[in-house]
Amino acid sequence: MSSSAVTSSDRQSARSARRRDYLYWGIILIGLACLYPLQVRFDATFHTNRTVEETLYIRSGETVRRLSFGFDGLVSDLYWIRTVQYFGRKLSGGLTDKGTVDFSRLSKDDMPLLEPMLNITTTVDPNFVAAYRTGAIFLAEFDYDAALALLRKGIAVQTDRRTLFRLWSDYGAICWRAKRYEECAEAYQRASELALSANDRDWTAVMVGAAKTRGGDRRTSYLLFQRLRDEAEHEGARLGAEWRIQQLISLDERDFFAQLIALFRQTYQRNPANFAELYPLVVAHRHKAYDTLGRPLALFREDFATRYSRYDRVPLDPSGAPYRYDPIRGCVGLSTSSRVARDQEEPCPAEPSQNDRIH
């Protein structure tokens, strides 16, 4: 073969290779050019489908269970994954500039499918404990009734004692957030009865007493905390009970101060200016000071000299900090240095400082 023929063949191969290269690059450039409008089209379709999903959703858990053809565990897992994704996606509507979620920006109407998706998940697999517990936490951000209903649904079908303990504990926690203290106390009482360990029994018993305190049943709270203190198997539980008893004593002491202030106001048509002005009434009536159980209050009896030792006649609360008196409102409250529990609505809350008013 002549050299001219070889050269001609090489040129043709090179031209063919260049044409293929041009073709490939052309396809790539056309693809890149089409990528943006395709993405816009995809996003529009995605959002349209998302709307269709929220309007054409199968809401019957029994229907889904029948259609699972025995694959209940797999189907419930898939629905649970979708529920978590749905919740996470909806949370983006409450994101702040700092990347945190402000739940005040969201409402039940922002997540119309959350409750039915959780009901489907737990109907398909009634033993899906995580769906009950975590799902109730999701729902509690917007709808306490729905959260508690989901937990009751789980409680009704469970037989395992530890699982029931956890579900009742979760129920009590949500009732506490919802300020349903009587229901909260009942839930923690159920949990305490199901507890398998002394530690679980102790802390749920503490919560029973705390709920009753916040609900106004002070007498029952006294009895519960005293029993817990006397029978506690852990030092932490005993100290926690003592702390709650201290809170109850302080509430009784402040109630007695309120009676004396009312008596002063009835006599002088004004509030006492300070504790020193109230002191003569304290001395005259301290033998009438009793707690909720009818026992003499130590502040006005055996501890009177110690807790009234200040020159300005400001009494000390059970933690050793001075009580705070508000002459405008005529009420006694806890000072900022007090270690008395104040996890409830204070009967005499401190006025906000100037800085608090500014900010």
Query: Domain boundary at 158, 181, 211, which?
Result: 158
Structural domain boundaries enclosing 87: 61-158
Domain count, the chain: 2
3-state secondary structure of 233: coil
Q: Please tell me the distance from the alpha carbon of residue 329 to that of residue 111, in angstroms, as a whole number.
A: 44
First to last CA, the chain: 95
* Cβ proximity of 156 and 168 under 8 Å: no
Q: Is 52 inside any structural domain?
A: no
Q: Is 10 inside any structural domain?
A: no
pLDDT tens-place values along the chain, 359 residues long: 555 554 666 666 666 666 666 665 666 566 555 544 544 554 454 444 444 344 434 555 556 655 555 666 676 677 778 777 766 776 665 555 555 554 555 666 666 677 787 887 788 778 888 888 888 888 887 788 999 999 999 999 999 999 999 999 889 888 987 889 989 999 999 999 999 888 888 888 888 888 887 777 788 788 778 877 887 766 766 787 888 899 999 999 999 999 999 999 999 999 999 999 999 999 999 999 999 999 999 999 999 999 999 999 999 999 999 999 999 999 999 998 898 887 555 778 876 543 333 33
Q: Is 23 inside any structural domain?
A: no
Q: Is 305 inside any structural domain?
A: yes
3-state secondary structure of 143: coil
> DSSP class of residue 353?
P
Tokens of 315: 């009494």
Query: Domain boundary at 133, 158, 183, which?
Result: 158
Q: Is 298 inside any structural domain?
A: yes
Distances (CA, A) of 289 to 17, 208, 247, 295: 105, 27, 17, 8
Angle formed at CA 285 by CA 283 and CA 286, multiple of 5 degrees = 70
Burial class (CB in 10 A: 0-12, 13-18, 19+), 41: exposed
CA atoms within 13 A on the CB side of 264: 24
* Cβ proximity of 222 and 291 under 8 Å: yes
Q: Is 273 inside any structural domain?
A: yes
Query: Domain boundary at 158, 183, 200, which?
Result: 158
Q: Please tell me the distance from the alpha carbon of residue 172 to that of residue 148, in angstroms, as a whole number.
A: 9
